[in-house]
């Protein structure tokens, strides 16, 4: 692939993108993100491959694992800040509510997502968090009065239908019919006795993810590294808030399972460290490189590679069955979320190398932009 000579936002006009480099690093990053279910279960389960045996901690442990991952994000960006000589830039950056809320929301999103991967199937957890981009578009329409095209409204409906398929509320064989609709949720299975709770956390992860992207739509003038430090400081705070709330539930009668009660084995700690490092500095570092070398539409779309990676882990490693309805749910959610950016990306590539003003105009029409450091 040829290099794209387009300056990314906030980086000046002299920077030249290397599309091939950006694509490779984006795939590495999305793969690292997709490994979250593997390492979260490795780090917490009594038997990594059998969820029915429970966790070596309370059910709030997923949120604490997210604190560790976000803490590694702070460490990574602080080191990067000193290595690139941007300490003064960080000091001069004005901390605004948008920057703080963007970090807070992504921390809360990951805390809910990791919790979801422990309480429900991998496919459900990853499907729900990827409703986030659509939620971002909807928030932009409501609060920033940004226009939504007919295509975006259609994609919003497609994602909602995909959620119904994914939850088994709509599809083949539902309600004892060849193809039906049934709002009786399956809230418990032998391996996931709290499946309904896990699905709820998955939905919350998508909500917070979308809000994070919405808030990060402001202050695009901020330096990526300086902003990253603040984002992850508040992300630790966000994940910490979820941890404290869930752990406090354990003091209520009948809800003792939410108390942290950590009794990890050496095997668990290895999984935790791998989660914090591979899904932390490695995934974040490669994402940062990708963000500098890919237009926002491209890396926002390629990020969906995380979904097949996570689903592959669920099927191959954890032997989780995928019904035709589950597959349809994945396709509809990912397709509905990614289609506007794919359409814009193809339109841009069809015009060859374009100037920054034209690129921003195309991106503005599709409202699917994400910040480099804000993917979970």
Residue 331 CA to residue 133 CA, distance in Å, equals 15
Q: How far apart are CA 162 and CA 150, in angstroms?
A: 18
Q: pLDDT for 207-218, tens place per residue?
A: 998 898 888 777
The per-residue pLDDT of the chain, averaged, comes to 83
Whether residue 354 is predicted with pLDDT greater than 60 in this model: the reply is no
In the block, which residue shows the tokens 């984002």? Answer: 231
- Most confident region among 24-33, 72-81, 177-186 by mean pLDDT: 72-81
pLDDT band at 10 (very low <50, low <70, confident <90, very high): very low
Q: Encoding tokens for residue 133?
A: 């981009």
The two three-digit tokens of residue 60, written as one number: 């709030």
Q: Please choose, from the candidates 319, 320, 305, the residue with its C-alpha nearest in 3D space to the C-alpha of residue 121.
A: 320
pLDDT tens-digit profile of 314-340? 999 999 988 898 889 888 888 887 777
pLDDT class for 127, splitting at 50, 70, 90? confident
pLDDT at 14: 53
Minimum mean pLDDT among 88-92, 173-177, 365-369: which range? Answer: 365-369
Higher pLDDT, 344 or 25: 25
pLDDT at 360 over 60: no
Which two three-digit tokens encode residue 359? 């690129």
Residue 305: its pLDDT value, please? Answer: 85
Question: In the prediction, which pLDDT does 296 show?
Answer: 61
Is a pLDDT exceeding 70 seen at residue 114? yes
Above 80 in pLDDT, residue 240? yes
Segment 12-31 shows an average pLDDT of 77
Mean pLDDT along residues 3-14: 42
Number of C-beta neighbours around residue 229 at 10 A? 23
Secondary structure (DSSP) of 129-189: HTTHHHHHHHHHHHHS-----HHHHHHHHHHHHHHHHHTTSEEETGGGSSEEE--------
pLDDT score recorded for residue 314: 93
d(CA 155, CA 147): 14
Decide: helix, strand or coil at residue 45: strand
- On the 0-12 / 13-18 / 19+ scale of CB atoms within 10 A, 43 is buried
Residue 79 CB partners (closer than 8 Å, separation 6+)? none
Residue 105 or residue 130, greater confidence: 105
Q: Which of 90-94, 171-175, 202-206, 267-271 has the lowest mean pLDDT?
A: 171-175
CA distances from 310 to 31, 33, 37, 181 (A): 8, 8, 7, 27
User: Residue 123: exposed, middle, or buried by beta-carbon count in 10 A (0-12, 13-18, 19+)?
Assistant: buried
User: Reduced to 3 states, what is the DSSP secondary structure of residue 216?
Assistant: coil
What radius of gyration do the chain's Cα atoms show?
20
CB atoms within 10 A of CB 15: 12
Q: What is the pLDDT of residues 129-173, one digit of tens each?
A: 888 877 887 888 888 887 877 887 888 888 888 888 877 778 888
For 50, the 3-state DSSP assignment is: coil
pLDDT given at position 337? 72
Q: What is the pLDDT of residues 270-306, one digit of tens each?
A: 999 999 999 988 887 787 777 777 766 666 677 788 8
């Amino acid at each position: 692939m040829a290099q794209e000579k387009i300056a990314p936002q906030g980086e000046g006009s002299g920077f030249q993108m290397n599309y091939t480099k950006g694509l490779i690093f984006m795939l590495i990053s999305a793969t690292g993100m997709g490994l979250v279910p593997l390492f979260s279960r490795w780090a917490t389960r009594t038997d990594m491959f059998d969820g029915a045996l429970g966790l070596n901690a309370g059910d709030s442990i997923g949120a604490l694992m997210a604190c560790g991952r976000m803490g590694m994000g702070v460490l990574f960006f602080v080191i990067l800040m000193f290595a690139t000589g941007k300490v003064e830039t960080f000091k001069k950056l004005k901390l605004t509510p948008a920057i703080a809320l963007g970090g807070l929301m992504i921390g809360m999103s990951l805390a809910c997502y990791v919790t979801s991967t422990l309480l429900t199937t991998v496919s459900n957890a990853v499907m729900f968090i990827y409703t986030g981009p659509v939620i971002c578009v909807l928030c932009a329409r409501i609060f920033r009065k940004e226009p939504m095209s007919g295509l975006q409204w259609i994609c919003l409906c497609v994602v909602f239908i995909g959620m119904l398929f994914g939850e088994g509320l709509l599809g083949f064989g539902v309600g004892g019919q060849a193809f039906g609709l049934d709002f009786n949720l399956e809230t418990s299975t032998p391996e996931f006795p709290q499946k309904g709770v896990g699905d709820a956390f998955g939905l919350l992860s998508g909500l917070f993810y979308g809000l994070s992207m919405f808030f990060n739509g402001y202050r695009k003038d901020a330096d990526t590294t300086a902003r990253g430090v603040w984002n992850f400081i508040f992300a630790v705070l966000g994940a910490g808030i979820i941890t404290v709330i869930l752990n406090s539930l354990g003091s209520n009668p009948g809800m003792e399972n939410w108390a942290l009660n950590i009794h990890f084995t050496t095997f668990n700690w290895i999984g935790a460290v791998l989660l914090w490092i591979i899904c932390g500095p490695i995934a974040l570092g490669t994402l940062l490189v990708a963000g500098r070398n890919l237009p926002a539409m491209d890396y926002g779309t390629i990020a969906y590679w995380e979904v097949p990676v996570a689903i592959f882990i669920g099927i191959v490693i954890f032997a989780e069955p995928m019904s035709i309805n589950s597959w349809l749910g994945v396709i509809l959610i990912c397709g509905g979320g990614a289609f506007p950016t794919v359409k814009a990306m193809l339109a841009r590539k069809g015009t060859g190398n374009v100037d920054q003003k034209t690129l921003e105009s195309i991106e503005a029409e599709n409202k699917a932009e994400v910040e480099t450091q804000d993917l979970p």
